[in-house]
Structure 1
Amino acid sequence: MSSEKDLDTAFQEAYEKASNTSQKFPPDIMLMFYAYYKQATESSGIYITPPGRKDVRNAFKLNALLQIKGISVEEAKRKYIEMVNEYITE
């Protein structure tokens, strides 16, 4: 149980670091941040396009989510933390 709490704490810290960075990333990296975050926080596996939003951006988001389909919430949190540690150098 404590390791799950440690993972949750590390994930929250990584999210805060990512949310507050001024670094810019290529679209493919941003999409992976998005996909791992969504899988970690909304693991229903269902992607619903927001009403009135049928643009290319949503297609790319859906594609990123499909690429990681099937990974657990815990694995998504670990991958998100790894990405933050790798890409955010501030």
Structure 2
Amino acid sequence: MADLKADFAKAQTEVKTLTKRPGNDDMLFLYAHYKQAADGDVKGSRPGMLDMVGRAKYDAWAKLKGVKADDAMKKYIDKVAALLKTHK
């Protein structure tokens, strides 16, 4: 567990070294899995239709409802590793 948290923290640092911005789908994936790992299931109400970015983030996170924090961390780490290979 400690290694997983360390790898998760490392991935959060490494994602900032990307030289090319990932696409919106990848960004939403990272956001949702980070939030699920850090905060658990989605909280609050869904943003209004005029807040399209907030709404997309909320929806991406809501799709992960019930996913365990460890699983979300692993998927986040794997996604960052894949992005580092293609976006450096």
- Name the TM-score, length of structure 2 as normaliser: 0.84
Matches of 2:44 and 2:33, distance apart in 1? 13
Match of 1:16 among 13, 16, 37: 13
Match of 2:72 among 69, 76, 80: 76
Matches of 2:32 and 2:24, distance apart in 1? 12
Tell me the equivalent position of 1:43.
Answer: 40
Matches of 2:79 and 2:36, distance apart in 1? 14
Matches of 2:33 and 2:18, distance apart in 1? 17
Q: Tell me the matched-pair count.
A: 84
Tell me the equivalent position of 2:2.
Answer: 5
Shift of the 83–9 alpha-carbon distance from structure 1 to 2, 3 Å rule, reads same
- Name the TM-score, length of structure 1 as normaliser: 0.82
Q: How much is the aligned-residue C-alpha RMSD, in angstroms? A: 1.8
Which of structure 1's runs of 4+ aligned residues deviate more than 3 A? 47-50
- 1:35·1:61 contact (CA, 8 Å) conserved in 2? yes
Tell me the equivalent position of 2:26.
Answer: 29
The AA in structure 2 aligned to 1:18 is V
How many percent of aligned residue pairs carry the same amino acid? 29
Matches of 1:46 and 1:24, distance apart in 2? 27
Matches of 1:42 and 1:23, distance apart in 2? 27
Matches of 1:86 and 1:20, distance apart in 2? 13
Q: Does 1:60 align with 2:56?
A: yes
